[in-house]
Structure 1
Amino acid sequence: MRAIWKGALTFGLVNVPVKVYAATEEHDVSLHQVHSKDGGRIRYQRVCELDGEVVPYAEIDRAYDDGERTVVLTKEDLAALPAERSREIEVVEFVPTDQIDPLLFERAYYLEPDSSSPKAYALLRETLERTDRTAVVRFSLREKTRLAALRVRGNVLTLQTLRWADEIREAAFPSLEEKVTVSDKELKLSAALVEGFAADFDPGSFTDEYQDELRTLIDAKLAKGEAIDTAETFGEREEETGGEVIDLMEALRASVERSRQQRGEEKPPPKKGKRASGQ
């Protein structure tokens, strides 16, 4: 991996030199656009509206338009901003981990100690683990001020950027304002269904089926040419059916029963009803 940023973690007077690495990568098959008639590659060019010339990326600056005037911001202007010049990841507070809404999470990064002695790095890592808290940090990266969560993963400090509070939309749905009554029987069956699917999460056990199928399709085209039978490659496609489930209890019972069958469990015997008085 190649470091994308170097700086220092700071909390109080403690300074922890670190290198920052992207923790994730895309696995999608890379596709490009072509002309459907002849297969010619479609390319996009940056063309100046004034002279009609193609502009190289090195000659492109940013600008802000307020509707009446345009202000051009050069690369030098942006690089001169105090926040952009800062090479610090500043810890602003330590918070209970469960107080950070998962909706706020964005990109994840690994932090590697960047000094001959990683003691300060280990100190911060152990502190986070023992206090069971997440450090909220602030730093600048790629012309943006970022808020991030600093946490421990194994023996590595990780940084996960956070969205700003005003970037989260409010979930205001009229349909959720309607009062709904859920019976004890429905809750019991639903809980049984949850138990039937209960497991320890292992992300490695899941695969991106669409990307796997896309690679299969590409390999088939490479081997057989353009004229291939999709059904031959993937098998017959089942018709998808949809519709609203009307009987919730019946759907829950059927789901619980199917879950039991998949686990090889026997169906429990029916409970005996109470005898009527006088019998």
Structure 2
Amino acid sequence: MPRSIWKGAISFGLVTIPVKLFSATEEKDVSFRQVHPEDGGRIKYKRVCEKCGKEIPFAEIAKGYELPDGRVVILDAEDMASLPLPTMKQVEVVQFVAEDDIDPTYFAKTYFLEAEGPGVKPYVLLRDALLKTNRCALVKVAIRSREALALVRPKGGILLMHTMLWPDELRDGGFVAPPSDITVSDGEIAMAQNFIDALAGDFDPGAYADSYREAVETLVESKLEGAELPAEEEEPQEAEVVDLVAALRASVEAAKKRRADAEQQTDSTAGKAV
């Protein structure tokens, strides 16, 4: 069982729910080390003070807040622990909202909420009340020295908490918008809709895999065994497409064929299993 990263309580009106917080996700990206290619030795970094030149152990490093005039205010662990911030140990419910009201761009990280001791019954009360009203709880919480808005929502019998970015942390994407004079015809939109319909379906995350990670692992295995990877065939260079309708029509046919092939393969696998 993973270790909790935070302990506190959800304040639900006059009801208090003691909870633990667990990370709900783990990244499984390919991990590389920086090494010296001649002998494989790892490259290490030292934390050196720019004034005295001494190497400083991580445990002795403090936080420094630099003011506009260049002065630095040093804050140690005790200073940070004494912050006058009630959300350090208390999740404050500030509003109840519909999940669709929150733009997914705001979401940062997802956590599991576990009730502690006497908090089990009020935990279930909040969970079931949110389900009945089809609402989520918008809360404020401080985790790892950072206060954030978060959304608490029920899923699969538990409560999840999604921390959110602040509005001023979202960039304005207007600079990537296409010019307003670029338009498409009804026929082009209709063909695009046909392509969307051909690939429409229920989301099944298990149907997808990290091809990059698999390719790197294959490369590592081949290097260990001294074997060469098979050369991939070069994809033919496609000419620039001017007729969008024709391109989309071809895309629809290709999508239908891929789906039919996938369904046939699934049926074949199921038949063998039986």
What TM-score does the superposition give when structure 1 sets the normalisation length? 0.86
Are the counterparts in 2 of residues 84 and 143 from structure 1 also a CA contact under 8 Å? no
Task: Tell me how far apart the structure 2 counterparts of residues 60 and 140 of structure 1 sit (CA, whole Å).
Answer: 22
For 1:68 and 1:256, locate their aligned partners in 2 and report how far apart those are by CA, in whole Å.
Answer: 61
- Answering whether residue 260 of structure 2 is matched by residue 259 of structure 1, we say no
Q: How many positions carry a matched residue from both structures?
A: 259
1:39 aligns with 2:35: no
Task: Say whether residues 1:48 and 2:44 are aligned partners.
Answer: no
User: Counterpart of 1:269?
Assistant: none
Structure 2 gap ranges (5+)? 262-274
Q: Secondary structure at the match of 2:117?
A: coil
The percent of aligned pairs where both chains have the same amino acid is 44
Q: 2:200 aligns with which of 187, 198, 201?
A: 198
Partners of 2:162 and 2:92 in 1: CA distance: 14
Superposed CA deviations along residues 164-192 of structure 1, whole A, max 9, x for unmatched, are: 00111111237524233332222221111
Give deviations 1:232-277, integer Å, cap 9, x for gaps.
Answer: 3xx4243474675321111111111222333459xxxxxxxxxxxx
1:229 corresponds to which residue? Answer: 228
Q: Which moved more, 1:90-99 or 1:241-250?
A: 241-250
> 1:220 and 2:230 equivalent?
no
SS at match of 2:50: coil
Q: Does 1:153 align with 2:155?
A: yes
In the TM superposition, residue 105 of structure 1 has moved relative to its aligned partner by 0.4
Q: Does the 8 Å CA contact 2:88/2:143 hold for their aligned counterparts?
A: no
1:1-279, aligned counterparts within 5 Å?
1-66=2-67, 67-83=69-85, 86-116=88-118, 118-173=120-175, 176-224=178-226, 228-230=227-229, 232=230, 235-239=231-235, 241=237, 244-264=240-260
Q: Deviations over 1:28-60 (max 9, x none)?
A: 232210012332210011011222221101110
Checking the alignment, whether the CA contact within 8 Å between 1:7 and 1:88 is kept in structure 2 is yes
How far apart, CA to CA, are the structure 2 residues paired with 1:9 and 1:240?
58
Please report how far the alpha carbon of residue 147 of structure 1 lies from its aligned counterpart in structure 2 after TM superposition. 0.8
Unaligned 5+ segments in structure 1 are: 266-279
